[in-house]
Amino acid sequence: MPRAATRSDVFNAVAEHQRRRILTLLRSGPRPVNGLARALGIAQPRVSKHLRVLRDVGLVRVQDEGRQRFYELDAEGLRPIHEWVGGFEQFWSGSFDRLNAYVKTLQSMEDRVMSEDVQSTADREVRVSRLIEGRRELVYAAFTEVRHLAHWFGPDGCSTTTRVFDFRPGGVWEFTMHGPDGTDYPNRIDWRVIVPGERIEYTQGARADDPEAFETTVTFESRDGGTMVTLRSVFRTKAQRDRVVERYGAVEGAHQTLGRLAAYIASEEWTP
């Protein structure tokens, strides 16, 4: 028997793995098509075709904001799949109970490890947060596109000149930061972990294999109509951390950097 047309059948629509990935990405909030293309690592025209299929079967909807269109999940369209799958619950309810108990055990172990890790790094880290006006996907874009980073990255009075920018796990950002007094500071960021819209982890130093390189985690959390951005940098030793705080004003510099990000997103220069 021939399969129903994809454009009228939600089951066929989600059978394609890239469309399932799009739906997963949209669970965290609306995204523009270029943001989806970057996260998926595929060409924008292909993403647009997938979005048209998902719109036709009622799984996504579109909202216009200025000159840009944002796609958001319409989970109601998944009801036929939910109702069909629901008929099989009796076969796995017991397994799910066992799985839930196992997950809780793992979560308890993870929480304990994370607690121990925080305690062990407390005297080696710099942590600052700021609530920034703007949806999480927009603030995240400002952190992940070099055209935006050039406007705000760094403390007050600083600017950057980029030589290489490859935003992906294993990619690098090589740039020179120009200080207010004209001093140039070479920088290299190695992107390690990228969870689109939620978290970025990277190593930053003056060059590859820099013994003074430090680890930074940036998290993005939707809160109070804006986005809470937290920077957590962990240094190799307490002495290194104290040195960058006292000699280079690392804490104040981090606050200034987030302040410049907030000002940029609120300015007329900002174009998503």
For the stretch 125-168, pLDDT in tens is: 999 999 999 999 999 999 999 999 999 999 999 999 999 999 99
Considering only CA atoms, which of 86, 121, 143 is closest in space to residue 260?
143
Number of folded domains in the chain? 2
Instruction: Give the pLDDT of residue 80.
Output: 84
Do 156 and 65 sit in the same domain of this protein?
A: no
| Residues comprising the chain, all counted | 272
Do 33 and 141 sit in the same domain of this protein?
A: no
Domain final residue, candidates 54, 82, 110: 82
Alpha-carbon dihedral sign for residues 19, 20, 25, 26: positive
Alpha-carbon dihedral sign for residues 30, 33, 34, 36: positive
CATH number, domain of 35, equals 1.10.10.10
Inside any domain, residue 113:
no
Structure-token pair, residue 88:
């099989």
Instruction: Give the pLDDT of residue 112.
Output: 56
Do 251 and 201 sit in the same domain of this protein?
A: yes
Dist. CA 59–CA 88, nearest whole Å? 23
Give the torsion through C-alpha atoms of 168, 216, 227, 264, to 10 deg. Answer: -80
Inside any domain, residue 272:
no
Do 250 and 168 sit in the same domain of this protein?
A: yes
Neighbours of 205 (CB within 10 A): 16
Do 72 and 131 sit in the same domain of this protein?
A: no
- What H or E segment, with its residue span, contains residue 70? strand 68-73
The reported pTM is: 0.57
Domain final residue, candidates 82, 106, 134: 82
Give the mean pLDDT of 47-70.
87
Dist. CA 97–CA 102, nearest whole Å? 9
Structure-token pair, residue 45:
């025209």
63 contacts: CB under 8 Å, gap ≥ 6: 30, 69, 70, 72
Do 126 and 256 sit in the same domain of this protein?
A: yes
Inside any domain, residue 97:
no
Instruction: Give the pLDDT of residue 12.
Output: 85
pLDDT grade for 117, boundaries at 50, 70 and 90: very low
Instruction: Give the pLDDT of residue 97.
Output: 64
C-beta separation of 22 from 14 below 8 A: no
Inside any domain, residue 95:
no
Range name among 31-35, 180-184, 253-257 with the lowest pLDDT average: 31-35
Give the mean pLDDT of 56-70.
85
Dist. CA 86–CA 99, nearest whole Å? 18
Question: What domain range includes position 166?
Answer: 121-266
Inside any domain, residue 194:
yes
Dist. CA 83–CA 120, nearest whole Å? 48
Inside any domain, residue 43:
yes
Do 165 and 258 sit in the same domain of this protein?
A: yes
